[in-house]
């Protein structure tokens, strides 16, 4: 069978028809010039996404939420939610050949070089065509002027392991089809995620009486691929960060065996004393693509692997967690592993959590010893527990919601007391139930003192207890501080605004973080 080399030739209607009918195979060109152009346009996207300027839909929300900044950590969740939102097609489904035509036509368009798409995405599309894993795309359901968003969302969803596909003569969940052909090095997979647990009793019950606890590092997720010579490193968002982490790539080449392999892990920035630095300092390494060597000494990294998806070319994602851990130990020879302990009692778990917090980490992950690895999945197979810190804030404004929150004032501007005034320290739309959103909207409307059509300014009367992951320096707020991953724990109707946390107290809490964390500079 002949092969259509995407990137070498102009794709015609005849090419699309032949690929759709299985008469023509597809591959990406090996042209160095084309690949460099694709990397260059992708780098332009990554550079802008990591900057301070708004970049619509990349580091901002969509539609009326385009004024809301989106953190790096939440970027992948935003993209996944966008794909889910547009999965609203109706009517009969296109046949297998028609859907293959959709795939190859979009592949050719993305490969033209101006889209900023990752090479890995194109390689994943080629693999779907080669394995004949074809999205089930409804014939109807365009969304306004952007009519291709609905059909394209079905293609994107399959890349993430969602929705249904034509596969081996039938229709099945995409996740099952992808599992049947197995993971492949240098085609990154969405990371498996965990839910929040309230206590260790819940964990042990969910995991059948025994669970593997690991330190939950305040670092950045990485997925490492190697064939024994080449090394590729991807972030949680599936961005290729290999060039930003040459020290990690060198460790992989020098110290790890069992290739080809795919490992899941975390990197943490360290200070001179070996203590973890705040997440902001780690991001300096991830965003740097030029003069990386200058930062190697300034921001050294610790590497902690915690899962093995492929070893010696064999897929392990369907194996239980305990067997994957054994394979990981063999690949790493027991080095560069996350701190881990299998526990069967709450007392053992509490002691392990105390160790993690004393070492300056966020908390612990609890993993079911029987669980398979589910790319992109989130559930009780992995649970996370953190010692949540809280402050009492006052709501001083709220943005109108979008999506499922339309009709509510649901993105709350949080502030602490600063003398006779208020100092902004963050925003959040997390923590309230639908019923609470409805009631809060009515309360805020009654307190409104200004409305620009999007943000409603209110009299600062409502106190909320806010959980947060970390207090960070902020160039955005005049207070100089911001709450990372803020979430409303409860509405404090028992407290008056004058009893809210003060800016001075928040500064003290910021400084107290460095009793266990390192400080840059």
If we measure between CA atoms, which residue out of 130, 135, 174 comes closest to residue 152?
135
> In angstroms, rounded to a whole number, what is the distance separating the alpha carbons of residues 488 and 257?
46
The DSSP code sequence of 372-420 is: PP-TT-EEEEEEEEE--EEEEEEEEEEEEP-GGGTTSEEEEEEEEEETT
Helix (H, G, I), strand (E, B) or coil at 427: strand
Q: Do the beta carbons of residue 323 and residue 316 sit within 8 Å?
A: yes
Longest dimension (CA), the chain: 77
Q: Residue 198 burial by CB count (10 A; 0-12/13-18/19+): exposed, middle or buried?
A: exposed
The DSSP code for 239 is -
By annotation, the residues acting in catalysis are 216
> Of 245, 344, 234, nearest to 289 (Cα)?
245
CB 429 within 8 A of CB 405: yes
Q: How many CA atoms lie within 13 A of 489 on its CB side?
A: 14
Separation CA 112–CA 38 (nearest Å): 9
Q: Which residues lie below 8 Å from residue 384, measured CB to CB, with a gap of 6+?
A: 194, 195, 196, 197, 216, 363, 364, 365, 366
How far is Cα 189 from Cα 159, in angstroms, rounded to an integer?
Answer: 9
Cβ 257 vs Cβ 331: under 8 Å: yes
Euclidean distance between CA atoms 203 and 251, whole angstroms: 34
The secondary structure element, H or E, covering residue 364 is strand 363-367
- Nearest residue to 427 (alpha-carbon basis) of 441, 415, 436: 415
3-state secondary structure 315-351: ECCCCCHHHHHHHHHHHHCCCCECCEEEECCHHHHHH
CB contact set of 509 (below 8 Å; sequence gap of 6+): 389, 391, 471
Instruction: Give the integer Cα–Cα distance in Å for 431 and 269.
Output: 30
């Amino acid at each position: 069978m002949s092969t259509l080399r995407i990137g070498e030739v102009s794709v015609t209607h005849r090419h699309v028809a032949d690929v759709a009918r299985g008469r023509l195979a597809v591959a990406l060109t090996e042209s160095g010039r084309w690949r460099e152009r694709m990397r260059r346009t992708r780098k332009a996207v990554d550079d802008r996404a990591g900057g301070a300027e708004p970049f619509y839909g990349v580091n901002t929300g969509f539609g009326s939420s385009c004024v809301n900044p989106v953190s790096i950590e939440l970027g992948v969740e935003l993209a996944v939610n966008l794909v889910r939102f547009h999965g609203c097609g109706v009517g009969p489904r296109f046949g297998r050949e028609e859907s293959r035509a959709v795939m190859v036509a979009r592949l050719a368009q993305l490969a033209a070089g101006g889209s900023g798409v990752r090479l890995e995405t194109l390689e994943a599309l080629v693999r779907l065509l080669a394995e004949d894993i074809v999205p089930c795309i409804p014939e109807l359901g365009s969304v306004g002027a952007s009519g291709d968003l609905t059909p394209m969302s079905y293609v994107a969803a399959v890349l993430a392991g969602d929705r249904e596909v034509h596969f081996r003569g039938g229709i099945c969940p995409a996740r099952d089809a992808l599992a049947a052909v197995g993971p492949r090095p240098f085609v990154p997979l969405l990371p498996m995620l965990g839910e929040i647990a309230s206590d260790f009793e819940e964990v042990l019950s969910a995991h059948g009486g025994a669970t593997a606890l690991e330190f939950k590092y305040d670092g950045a997720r990485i997925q490492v691929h190697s064939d024994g010579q080449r090394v590729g490193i991807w972030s949680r968002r599936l961005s290729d960060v290999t060039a930003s982490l040459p020290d990690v790539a060198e460790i992989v080449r020098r110290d790890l065996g069992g290739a080809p392999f795919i490992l899941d892990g975390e990197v943490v920035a360290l200070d001179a004393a070996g203590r973890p630095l705040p997440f902001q300092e780690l991001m300096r390494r991830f965003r740097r693509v030029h003069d990386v060597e200058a930062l190697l000494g300034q921001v050294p990294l610790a590497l902690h692997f915690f899962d093995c998806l492929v070893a010696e070319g064999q897929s392990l994602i369907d194996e239980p967690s305990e067997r994957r851990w054994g394979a990981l130990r063999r690949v790493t020879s027991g080095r560069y592993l996350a701190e881990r302990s299998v526990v069967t009692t709450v007392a053992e778990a509490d002691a392990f959590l105390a160790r993690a917090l004393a070492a300056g980490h966020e908390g612990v992950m609890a993993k079911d010893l029987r669980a398979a690895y589910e790319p992109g999945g989130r559930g009780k197979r992995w649970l996370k527990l953190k010692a949540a810190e809280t402050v009492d804030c006052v709501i001083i404004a709220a943005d109108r919601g979008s999506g499922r929150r339309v009709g509510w004032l649901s993105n709350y501007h949080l502030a602490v007391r600063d003398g006779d005034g208020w100092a902004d320290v963050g925003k959040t739309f997390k923590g309230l139930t639908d019923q609470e959103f409805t009631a809060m909207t009515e309360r805020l409307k009654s307190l409104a003192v200004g409305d620009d059509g999007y943000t409603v300014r209110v009299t600062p009367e409502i106190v909320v207890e806010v959980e947060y992951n970390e207090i960070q320096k902020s160039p955005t707020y005049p207070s100089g501080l911001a709450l990372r991953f803020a979430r409303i724990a409860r509405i404090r109707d028992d407290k008056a605004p004058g009893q809210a946390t003060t800016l001075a107290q928040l500064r003290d809490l910021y400084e107290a973080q460095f009793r266990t964390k390192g400080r840059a500079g």
